[in-house]
């Protein structure tokens, strides 16, 4: 029966990050299957609660392929052997040779495959391409395929939740399968800094340098804004980048802002990062959001009604991660409660997602827009059509749709406009935000910060 459970565990890897799998799934202990009830052991109550809330329904679904007549999953707390607990506790620490080449194997490694550091769901096939991300997608695909590029280094620039990590992991996954001998080093800026600090403390800085300069064919470096203000680490990174570029190695970096806008970077690092090919990722437009929802649901074997797809794409516009969270929440609620996927269920889940802004209403949003544009609410409600007022009015309608739970009709009435006018305004702003170098994007982000600050203060 243990082998059957291990097969189920393997299936549970799908849809979880490596950290989630190692922390919650790999530590589940098979205790017993009595013909109908699968009994699993958890380390503590936190472990048990997380598995119960996030995994039990999937374990039931996947487990029935291996355990006939499975009807229930029971979670029990189990005490660990003190020596084993100590050994496993050490595994939670970042190993000294994390992201390095081969390490000395322990007995526990015998017979186990080395795990990939890349999320198996983050592939090019699973990445939804639209106007907002096509260039970044094509660039990363070319990097992974060793196509000739003008520059062998790329900087993916995007707000959180728009797909930087997905593309970075997609490059790693493709390289690991198509070129297994290639040495790919994936690391966040924080991990790079921590490794360097440990190397300095242990007088092993030369090993650290060799690991990144001699033992690396492709460097995937995420969240470079973490280097802000860390002078010695910036200096080391400059030397490392120079060495890799001189040898024709490929480099992909990611960050939230352009390199020139990251504060407290020294001139040399700013110059190196500013000289690479910058591939921005913008917020997805309505059509791309619909395809993201449809694709993610299909991956889980669910076909959503089109009205639900369009509702979710219309309501959740900020980032892909929140869109996926909303979808997962709806599928989980449907599975656990046995409710069909419907507009009512979609409304419940999206309302819960937006509950973090409970104090916002149309006047709050309109006030923030008026302050930013230097216009009055009376002007927004008026028939004035000059560019400044029209742009402010359309953005206010767009943000009311994003930040409040009001209907389109309610928004229309607040601004003295028709239902169709609000729809037109939302679509126009969405299209403008999807354009490269949109003049409206910075204005919208400024207003959004004022709105969210108002919410947190209220």
Numbered residues of the known binding site for ATP: 161, 163-165
Q: Are the beta carbons of 77 and 41 closer than 8 angstroms?
A: yes
Half-sphere exposure of 2 (CA within 13 A, CB side): 3
Alpha carbon distance 439, 433 (integer Å) = 8
Residue with tokens 């009055």: 376
**Exposure b/e, 73-107, CB count within 10 A at least 16 = b:** bebeeeebeeeeeeeeeeeeeeeeeebbeeeeeee
Question: What is the distance of C-alpha 100 from the center of its chain?
Answer: 24
Q: Are the beta carbons of 138 and 189 closer than 8 angstroms?
A: no
SS (H, E, C) 377-402: HHHHHCCCCCHHHHHHHHHHHHHHHH
**Which element (helix H / strand E) includes 250?**
strand 250-255
Reduced to 3 states, what is the DSSP secondary structure of residue 1?
A: coil
What are the Cα distances from residue 301, in Å, to 141, 181, 296, 298, 394?
27, 34, 9, 5, 38
Would you mind telling me the total number of residues written for the chain in this entry? 458
Cα dihedral 299, 305, 310, 313 sign = negative
| Environment class of 441 (CB within 10 Å of its CB; exposed 0-12, middle 13-18, buried 19+) | middle
Secondary-structure breakdown of the chain: helix, strand, coil percentages, each rounded to the nearest 5: 55, 10, 35
Residue numbers belonging to the annotated binding site:
161, 163-165
Q: How does DSSP assign 11-28, residue by residue?
A: HHTTTS-HHHIIIIITT-
Q: What is the layout of strands, in order, in the sheet containing 29-33?
A: 29-33, 37-42, 72-77
């Amino acid at each position: 029966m243990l082998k059957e459970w291990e097969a189920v565990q393997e299936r549970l890897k799908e849809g979880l990050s490596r950290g989630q799998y190692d922390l919650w799934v790999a530590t589940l202990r098979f205790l017993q299957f009595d013909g109908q009830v699968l009994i699993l052991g958890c380390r503590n109550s936190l472990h048990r609660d997380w598995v119960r809330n996030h995994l039990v329904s999937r374990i039931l679904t996947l487990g029935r392929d291996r355990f006939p007549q499975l009807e229930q999953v029971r979670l029990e707390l189990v005490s660990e052997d003190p020596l084993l607990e100590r050994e496993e506790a050490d595994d939670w620490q970042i190993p000294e040779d994390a992201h390095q080449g081969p390490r000395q194997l322990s007995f526990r490694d015998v017979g186990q495959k080395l795990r990939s550091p890349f999320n198996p769901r983050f592939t090019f096939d699973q990445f939804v391409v639209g106007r907002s991300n096509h260039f970044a997608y094509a660039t990363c695909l070319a990097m992974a395929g060793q196509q000739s590029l003008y520059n062998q280094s790329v900087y993916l620039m995007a707000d959180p939740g728009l797909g930087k990590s997905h593309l970075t992991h997609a490059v790693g996954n493709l390289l690991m399968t198509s070129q297994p001998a290639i040495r790919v080093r994936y690391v966040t800026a924080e991990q790079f800094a921590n490794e360097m600090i440990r190397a300095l403390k242990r007088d092993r800085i030369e090993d650290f340098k060799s690991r990144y300069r001699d033992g690396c064919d492709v460097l995937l470096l995420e969240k470079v804004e973490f280097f802000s203000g860390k002078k010695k680490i910036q200096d080391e990174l400059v030397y490392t980048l120079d060495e890799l570029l001189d040898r024709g190695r490929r480099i992909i970096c990611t960050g939230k802002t352009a390199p020139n806008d990251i504060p407290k970077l020294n001139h040399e690092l700013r110059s190196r990062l500013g000289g690479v090919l910058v591939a921005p990722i913008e917020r997805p437009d309505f059509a791309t959001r619909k395809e993201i929802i449809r694709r993610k649901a299909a991956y889980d074997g669910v076909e959503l009604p089109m009205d639900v797809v369009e509702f979710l794409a219309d309501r959740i516009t900020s980032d892909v991660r929140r869109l996926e969270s909303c979808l997962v929440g709806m599928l989980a609620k449907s599975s656990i409660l046995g409710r069909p996927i419907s507009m009512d269920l979609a409304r419940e889940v999206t309302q819960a997602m937006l509950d973090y802004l409970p104090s916002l209403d149309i006047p709050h949003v309109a006030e923030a827009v008026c302050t930013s544009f230097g216009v009055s609410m009376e002007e927004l409600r008026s028939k004035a059509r000059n560019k400044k007022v029209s742009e402010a009015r359309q953005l206010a309608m767009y943000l009311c749709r994003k930040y409040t739970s009001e209907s389109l009709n309610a928004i229309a009435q607040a601004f003295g406009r028709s239902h169709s006018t609000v729809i037109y305004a939302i679509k126009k702003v969405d299209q403008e935000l999807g354009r490269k170098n949109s003049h409206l994007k910075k204005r919208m982000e400024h207003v959004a910060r004022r709105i969210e600050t108002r919410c947190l203060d209220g």
